Chain A
Amino acid sequence: MKEILIISLLGIVVLALDVLKMRKLVLPISAAGLLGLIACCVLDWNHNETPFAQYGGMLTFDNMALAFTAVFAFIGLFWLLLAGDTYTANTSKRTDIFALVLFSMCGAVVLSAYTNLVMLFLGVEILSIPVYVLAASNRKNVLSNESGFKYFFLGSLASAVLLFGISLTYGAVGSFELTAIQEHISGGYYSPMILIGTALMLVGFSFKISVAPFHMWAPDVYQGAPTPVTAYMATVVKGAAFAGMFKLFGTALLPLPAAFTTALAVMCGITLIASNLTAVVQSNTKRMLAFSSISHAGFMLGFILVASTTSPKYLIYYTLTYSLASLIAFFVIQHVAAIQNEDDSTDAFKGLVKRSPVMAISMTVALLSMAGIPPLSGFLAKYYVISNMVNHGYMALVIIMILTSAVGAFYYLRVISAIFTPIENAGRIMTSDGMRRTFIVLSLLIVVLFFAASLLELL
């Protein structure tokens, strides 16, 4: 209860601060709010005996929901800190954007805790609608407008498909409750209506998490949207969609018919292959990271494949580590591009090690973590996926994951290689102390989470 209240009130408070002309307080208050949200999650931990069933049992904050919520709040917190340094010139715009992000995070919380398909749909919509606006928030830029338009158009189509799937399922079961759906199909019999419903819900979700063949929108939208917004889309939005999907496929739709497991496995494979091969030929770093983000969605889809027998904690770990690395990567791109006429090609990174050592090292750590090199947490995240795949006998997928990881290292290293290539008369990139500190903390977290991975077993 507290969780959902805090996050929804926070957005309204931030908007009110703008009206009251107290814009300086926006960042401290939203950061404090998110910290409060994390604190609530910690306090409510292990209340499993009396689950917090709210709104007539439509939201349940069990441990997993709390863990997802806390992780999203944690990522959101760092996003605010980094974005706070980016949007300084125009404080009014900053309040709008922060409020929209906080509203969208409300959807992420709902998606972590829903136990009812209506809530699932509401969560997806609350999550997405502010992001449509955010993607187009750079009003004078054609690409940003294109990005917002594309995202809105295809996003609403996906929502419609999802909703149709939900209604068909409701028609067959007679209830929106996840438990009721589970009871209905516990015998393993899927009536045609539920089969179609499940397929449509899978399609809807696949769009939201951008896995092939429903990923086409992602590169354009990621590239066109303002970079901080892209960072938000790649981290919280994607993570929340995965949280929702994991719950649906891990608790309600059990046992999943073999056709669907096959479909998921095939989607996982083609996502990995398509995204990694396309990423190799990108010269624009933002677009490259968009494809890399699709590739990570492919890895995370591995968890959905085994959702019925695997604890979501590994998905949480993956989301967290990938998000930390993404935040660094996108915001470094933002600052590198900002001082050279919005040039975000790989060449723009040349000599970064001299121009801004902190950004150079953080970017290197982030990219190596995404490539899955130990001792960075990205390695363990990938390890958990591959380990699960071996465990369930998906050897073909394992081979694809291995090969595409090596391909992935190729395009990440190209950027690193540029960072450490010296150039003539490189001017230093000025960054604020606060931002440097945030980058350092994020990089350290990426390392520490590797060694502290045993904490995950407490979940």
Chain B
Amino acid sequence: MLTILLLAIPILAAGLLFLSGAKNARNLALGAGILELIVTVIAFYANKQGNAESLLNFNQEWIGPLGISYAFNLDGISLVMALLVALLLPIIIYASANRTYKSPHYFYGLMLLMAASMMGAFATTDGLLFYVFYEFALIPIYFMILYWSDNPNKAKITLKFFIYTLFGSLFMLVSLLYLYNISGSFNMNALYEAGRSLSAAQQGWVFAGFFIAFAVKIPVFPFHSWQPSTYDAAPTAGTMLLAGIMLKMASYGLIRLVIPALPDGVAEYGTWALALSAVSVIYASCMAIVQQRYKLLIAWSSIAHLGVLSAGILAGNAQGIQGGVMEMLSHGILSVALFFVYDIIESRVHHDDMHKMGGIREVNPLFAFLFFAVVMGSVALPMTSGFVGEFLLLIGFYQVSPWLTAVAGLTVVLGAVYMLRAFQVMMLGSAAASMLNFAPLNRHEKTVLTILVILIIALGVYPDPILSTSNPSVESLLQGLNR
């Protein structure tokens, strides 16, 4: 019941926005976002109390004879992901008050539709439905970039983004169909059984299909080339949605579909994927170090962090997956915070060339302080959310391949290099002339940044509510796997 509510709220609100016109569009969307958050929190409580099957579960036949149903279930992992959506959605909407978008009702309507499809992907237990939601999330973001971006190359960039991800996900469809052909049903448990009944070589092929799909979207080197330009071209709210939530669908897909269904395939061919993830970490970190522009630096740093994420998950043990769940939440919050910092700077100085900035701390110490807290989270300092996730991921990874872990572990060092350098260049030193009239943070900017910083620290100090929620589901997911 609650699950359906979580899907219905954004869809209905989007419909209302499309029909009602531009007046108060943002407030209406914000209301829907907050309502979504409240429902998610209730679902969290229901899960904690236990015996909430009827609240969190929904199953209705869609195409019966073909074994496809509208099946949703919020287990621990899904709940954390739902929290990610429901927490970030209102924050992103509230953070957009900085900007005025043309036809705001369509803009926020598309945003809500996207939230709905991501919520659906995280909640469904039907393989085909997962594909449908996964794929549909592309449409709103495609139009958000195409219509609301200022980038002169947006047509080309959106096309590349769309084709690239569509191309990847079609491979997932083939893999899903291959499993479905054995199971006769898209129910995920049936898909798991079907996957495990395959020989290691067959599992390897199916794994390859899934991995291409998810590697494009996570993204993992060498499938990443769409990402920096797309982040750059998207309006900030769109970038936040992309980096904060949408790309997590792929890493979630690894946890939900690949690890339980294809244990032998992962064991046999996973090393390739792990190596690619490790390369991805180093390559993206190096690219981040040489960037002149802050937004691109964040884009590349995102690839580096997600490389660790995919490596930890593909390690396929409880620590790795727990770390993955935690890191998805933490990275979502951190990306939104980092891109919000971009938005604040860009709205004042109208560029993001770091070398033309400097000394903002002198003019605006509060902003510098909050930004510093975000940077600390991003370099995974202990007591921040980033630390908990990456630490668990690296533990999980270590059990599979100590050498590759040593490579991927460099992310912490390299991350500190580019993040601290960025902070130093932009914030410290004596104030450049162009920075002197850097306006103080307004009320909602303060609110958003403060909330995000509190979240980053709170989750770092006390991650238990998240970890204990996802733990039973991770255990049951790994049950019956021989490692």
* Interface set of A (CB-CB < 8 Å, partner B): 353, 368, 371, 373-375, 379, 383, 386-387, 390-391, 398-399, 402-403, 405-406, 409-410, 413-414, 416-417, 420-421, 451, 453-454, 456-457
* Interface set of B (CB-CB < 8 Å, partner A): 61-66, 128, 131-132, 135-136, 138-139, 143, 146-147, 155, 158-159, 162-163, 166-167, 170-171, 173-174, 177-178, 180-181
Q: How far is the CB of A418 from chain B (nearest CB, A)?
A: 8
Q: How far is the CB of A352 from chain B (nearest CB, A)?
A: 13
29 A-B pairs (CB sep. < 8 Å): A353-B147, A373-B135, A373-B139, A373-B166, A375-B132, A379-B135, A383-B128, A383-B173, A386-B174, A386-B177, A387-B177, A387-B180, A387-B181, A390-B177, A402-B174, A403-B167, A405-B170, A406-B163, A406-B167, A406-B170, A409-B162, A409-B163, A413-B159, A414-B159, A416-B146, A417-B155, A417-B159, A454-B61, A456-B63
> Interface residues of A: mostly helix, strand, loop or mixed?
helix
Partner of A375, one of B63, B136, B174: B136
Give 10 closest A-B pairs by Cβ, nearest first.
A406-B167, A374-B132, A402-B170, A390-B177, A417-B155, A454-B63, A457-B65, A374-B135, A420-B146, A409-B166
Residues of B within 8 A of A383 (CB): 128, 173
Residues of B within 8 A of A417 (CB): 146, 155, 158-159
Q: Provided the pairs A406-B170, A409-B163, A421-B155 are in contact, do residues A368 and B178 lie with their beta carbons within 8 angstroms?
A: no
Once the chains bind, are B162 and A457 in contact (CB under 8 Å)? no
Once the chains bind, are A398 and B131 in contact (CB under 8 Å)? no
Q: How far is the CB of A340 from chain B (nearest CB, A)?
A: 21
Closest to A374 in B: B132
Residues of A within 8 A of B128 (CB): 383
Residues of A within 8 A of B166 (CB): 371, 373, 405-406, 409
Once the chains bind, are B139 and A368 in contact (CB under 8 Å)? yes
Once the chains bind, are B181 and A390 in contact (CB under 8 Å)? yes
Q: How far is the CB of A452 from chain B (nearest CB, A)?
A: 10
Once the chains bind, are A390 and B178 in contact (CB under 8 Å)? yes
Residues of B within 8 A of A368 (CB): 139
Please give 4 more A-B residue pairs, beta carbons under 8 A apart, in addition to A398-B174, A403-B167, A406-B170: A368-B139, A387-B177, A402-B173, A413-B159
Q: How far is the CB of A393 from chain B (nearest CB, A)?
A: 9
Residues of B within 8 A of A410 (CB): 159, 163
Residues of B within 8 A of A413 (CB): 158-159, 162-163
Residues of B within 8 A of A421 (CB): 155
Once the chains bind, are A457 and B63 in contact (CB under 8 Å)? yes
The docked-state distance in angstroms from the alpha carbon of A409 to that of B167 is 9
The docked-state distance in angstroms from the alpha carbon of A410 to that of B177 is 24
Partner of A454, one of B64, B136, B138, B180: B64
Residues of A within 8 A of B147 (CB): 353, 420
The docked-state distance in angstroms from the alpha carbon of A401 to that of B66 is 21
Q: How far is the CB of A271 from chain B (nearest CB, A)?
A: 18
Q: How far is the CB of B379 from chain A (nearest CB, A)?
A: 38
Q: How far is the CB of B132 from chain A (nearest CB, A)?
A: 4
Most chain A CB inside 10 Å of its own CB: which residue of B62, B63, B128, B138: B63
Closest to B158 in A: A417
Q: How far is the CB of B155 from chain A (nearest CB, A)?
A: 5
The docked-state distance in angstroms from the alpha carbon of A379 to that of B158 is 21
Q: Provided the pairs A373-B138, A413-B162, A417-B159 are in contact, do residues A390 and B63 lie with their beta carbons within 8 angstroms?
A: no
The docked-state distance in angstroms from the alpha carbon of A363 to that of B284 is 39
The docked-state distance in angstroms from the alpha carbon of A457 to that of B62 is 11
The docked-state distance in angstroms from the alpha carbon of A390 to that of B181 is 7
Closest to B155 in A: A417
The docked-state distance in angstroms from the alpha carbon of A403 to that of B170 is 8
The docked-state distance in angstroms from the alpha carbon of A374 to that of B132 is 6
Closest to A410 in B: B163
The docked-state distance in angstroms from the alpha carbon of A421 to that of B64 is 42
The docked-state distance in angstroms from the alpha carbon of A262 to that of B176 is 26
The docked-state distance in angstroms from the alpha carbon of A406 to that of B172 is 13
Q: How far is the CB of B322 from chain A (nearest CB, A)?
A: 31
Residues of B within 8 A of A457 (CB): 63-66
Q: How far is the CB of A288 from chain B (nearest CB, A)?
A: 15
Residues of A within 8 A of B171 (CB): 402
Once the chains bind, are A420 and B135 in contact (CB under 8 Å)? no
The docked-state distance in angstroms from the alpha carbon of A406 to that of B143 is 18
The docked-state distance in angstroms from the alpha carbon of A88 to that of B66 is 46
